[in-house]
Structure 1
Amino acid sequence: MPLPDTMFCAQQIHIPPELPDILKQFTKAAIRTQPADVLQWSAGYFSALSRGDPLPVKDRIEMPVATQKTDTGLTQGLLKVLHKQCRHKKFVDLADLEKKWKNLCLPVEKFRDLVQLESGENEIEWLKFLALGCSALGGSLNTAMKHLCEILTTDPEGGPARIPFDTFSYVYRYLAGLDPDTHKSETESYLTTLKENVQSRKNGMIGLSDFFFPKRKI
């Protein structure tokens, strides 16, 4: 025999008091992030929320980078999201990083192309992966370093985007070393000159207005 229809009244349906705010914050996050696959991104969002991890949410809506040769969906904003999720570790597990990448609805083929540029079977240094991601946005070494500064800085948006010179020089050497046409002596000469200018301020920080160099492809 078919089961009788169950009647519910308002008193029988319990709605957690925090649910409306959770859904409101989720909706606002989805609007800011504009994920290509809402279901995939939502799974990553609520998984991170349940663990108390940084959420895969952009700070603001942004347009794709015009310098990309092919539109992979990767943007500075998405790299910044990954940085918030991974910056607490010097080395990150590749499987976990790939999962975070997928949750942002980015093509896994692009992820694997990037990690092939850096040796390591199960993990990768986070700062180097971030540098590779900045270079993947297209343009010159200048452009990649600009993205890096804007992601790493603690300055307000639209400010000088300052980061420690030691961090800047480490990433600059790494990316310049990937270009077979760039000589090490040229890189070191440039960084030495730049360091002298930075040291005159005695804060060890470098901003967007401090560095200018040839637009090398990477």
Structure 2
Amino acid sequence: MPVPDVMFCAQQIHVPPELPNIMKQFTKAAIRTQPRDVLQWSYGYFSALANGEPLPVKERVEMPVATQKNDSGLTPGLLKVLHKQLAKKETVELRELQIKWKNLCMPVEQLHDLLRLDDFAEGVPWMKFFALGCSALGGSLITSMKHACEILTEDPEGGAARIPYDTFAFLYSYLAGLDEGMAPAEVESYLAALKEQVARKEYMVGVADFSVKRVE
């Protein structure tokens, strides 16, 4: 038996009053983020929205600085999104990191490549993974640290991109420790000189500070 046609009038259709604004914000977020897979990203967006978590949304549209041939790899904007989502946890469960990564539509092969750089069998210390992400964005240690400062800073865009000295020292020491060609004494000497240099600036390190005397 065929289903009879049902007629609706405007009075019978209830549109939640918050729906237009939700869809407006969703559309603006999608335009800024430019996800490669809109459906996957949308799942992550509304899951985060429903759970009151930081949204997988870039602050602005960016030209990809991709590490993959198809221009779908990690970018500074995407790493900043991950940091907002995961930085509150000192150690992140691997499953959670995989889900957040997937929802940002980045290649899983790149995630596996980063995870192979250290032993993360008992969880992923977030700041270590963040450092590895910065290294994926920049070819040299100094370039990696520039990315770290620009992502972590609370300075206005175009400013000094300062971060606390202790944060800089941790990230720098960790990445330098993965470089077999860099002697620990050399790293310690550089950080000691940098600490003295920024002592008068309330121990905040900006891009200009560590670019003056650097370890190559």
TM range, smaller chain:
over 0.9
| Greater fraction of residues in helix | 2
1:153 aligns with 2:165: no
| DSSP 3-state at the match of 1:189 | helix
Per-residue displacement from partner, 1:128-182 (whole Å, max 9, x unpaired)?
0000001011321111001101111111111111111011011101000111111
Letter in 1 for 2:10: A
Alignment of structure 1 residues 46-85 onto 2, 5 Å? 46-65=46-65, 68=67, 70=69, 71-85=71-85
Taking the TM superposition and a 5 Å limit, the aligned residue runs for 1:176-195 are 176-195=176-195
Number of matched pairs: 213
Shift of 1:73: 2.2
Alignment TM-score, normalising by the size of structure 2: 0.95
1:116 Cα deviation after fit: 1.6
**Matching residue of 1:12:** 12
Deviations, residues 20-45 of structure 1 (Å, cap 9, x unaligned): 00000000000000001111100100
1:207 maps to which residue? 206
Q: How does 1:84-163 map to 2 (within 5 A)?
A: 84-163=84-163
Structure 1 vs Structure 2: percent identity of aligned residues? 65
3-state DSSP of counterpart to 1:210: helix
**1:3 Cα deviation from its structure 2 partner:** 2.1
Residue segments in structure 2 that go unaligned for 5+ positions in a row: none
Contact 1:86–1:126 (CA under 8 A) maintained in structure 2: yes
Q: Secondary structure at the match of 2:124?
A: strand
Distance 1:200 1:17, change over 3 A: same
Residues 43-67 of structure 1 show CA distances to partners (whole Å, capped at 9, x for unaligned) of 100110011100000000011227x
Higher relative contact order, chain-length normalized (CA < 8 Å, sep 6+):
1
For residue 122 of structure 1, report the CA deviation from its aligned partner: 4.2
Change (3 A) 1:3 1:69: closer
Q: List 4+ stretches of structure 1 deviating above 3 A.
A: 68-72
